[in-house]
A = this chain, B = another copy of it.
Amino acid sequence: MRIAILGAAGMLGRKLVDRLAAERTLAGEPITGFVLHDIVTPSAPIGDYEIELLSSDFSAEGEAAKIVALWPDVIFHLAAVVSGEAEADLAKGYRVNLDGTQALLEAIRAVGSGYRPRFVFTSSLAVFGAPLPDVIPDDFVLRPLSSYGAQKAIGELLVADYSRRGIIDGISIRLPTICVRPGRPNKAASSFYSGIIREPLNGEEAILPVSLDIRHWFASPRAAIGYLVRAAEVASDKLTVRSLTMPGVSATVADEIEALRKVGGDDAVKLIREQPDPAIHAIVSTWPKAFDARSALELGFVADQSFEEIVEIYQRDELGKA
């Protein structure tokens, strides 16, 4: 089995490559090769695999055809212009996130000859827009309030239609906010969700810009990789709906802090400094609080068990502590 990954140099892409290369199988089949693509050249995995490393703008003319040229059996489409940039640069967001996804699907169609890969598209909670119920059901209407969310919702419609037409065997998975993200803080409004765990566990001060009662929907990087793998495995005949909200952990900022206390102690918690930022508060307070992700659970997608587990996964996977 040959696997293609777009966005292979990103945080999730690298972890996905590492896990697949270590496991050597996917959906019960031995993995023989990887086609890894990103805007910068991705790293090759360790192991005895045929490996093709591609770097380009996949939305540029002819690039998508190169990615599917070797008929990958599974295509993980993780590539996207991120939320903030899609809002700042409308044309670029639509070119990559919409036109690029369309070009990729058309390149698959152009292969013909019965080629029909499993196509895993990473969608986002940004497809949902306020007003939202406290617990959002699987069949909730998509009313995105960002260009990124609109582009992801459009991607879901394309994946569903191209699947119905027999061109791909597609599945869109809406990932929760990934926490704890390794690395440094960034300018995303969601940055503090990881920062208030990551920085204290590294002995650094973290800024908390919102109140303790703000609630949101989380998955560890490890759980997210599990969703991607499961999305490649789930039987086609179970996919009566092609877009699935992923399960997650619903936690308040207060829940986060209590989990940090259990794992890192009071000294870690003392490194969180409350510094209210009304602009960030306004943004994140409209975000989803929790989902009833029943369909995904029935299909075998497995969430973290608690926010404490999410913190422990960061300690183990990123800091190397047991």
Q: A: which residues have CB within 8 A of B?
A: 90-91, 94, 98, 102, 106, 109, 139-145, 147, 150, 153-154, 157-158, 160-161, 164-165, 241
Query: Within the oligomer, what is the number of copies of this chain?
Result: 2
Known: A102-B94, A109-B90. A161 touches B141 (CB 8 A): no
Please indicate the chain B residues that have their CB under 8 angstroms from the CB of A102 in the complex.
Answer: 94, 98
Q: Name the residue on B nearest A164 (C-beta).
A: B145
Report the minimal beta-carbon distance from A86 to chain B, rounded to whole angstroms: 10
Tell whether, in the assembled complex, residue B143 and residue A153 are in contact, meaning their CB atoms are under 8 Å apart: no
Q: By the criterion CB–CB under 8 Å, are A140 and B141 in contact?
A: yes
Closest CB in chain B relative to A73 CB, distance in Å: 23
Chain B: minimal CB distance from A165 (Å): 6
Contact A157 B141 (CB under 8 A): no
Identify which of B90, B91, B150 contacts A160 (C-beta below 8 A).
B150
Task: List 19 additional A-B contacts (Cβ < 8 Å) besides A142-B142, A154-B154, A157-B157.
Answer: A90-B165, A91-B106, A98-B102, A139-B141, A140-B141, A141-B141, A141-B142, A142-B157, A143-B160, A144-B157, A144-B160, A144-B161, A147-B161, A147-B165, A150-B157, A150-B158, A150-B160, A154-B157, A154-B158
Closest beta carbon of chain B to A167's beta carbon, Å = 8
Chain B: CB-nearest residue to A137:
B141
Q: Report the Cα distance A106→B90, complex, angstroms.
A: 10
Chain B residue contacts of A150, Cβ below 8 A: 157-158, 160-161
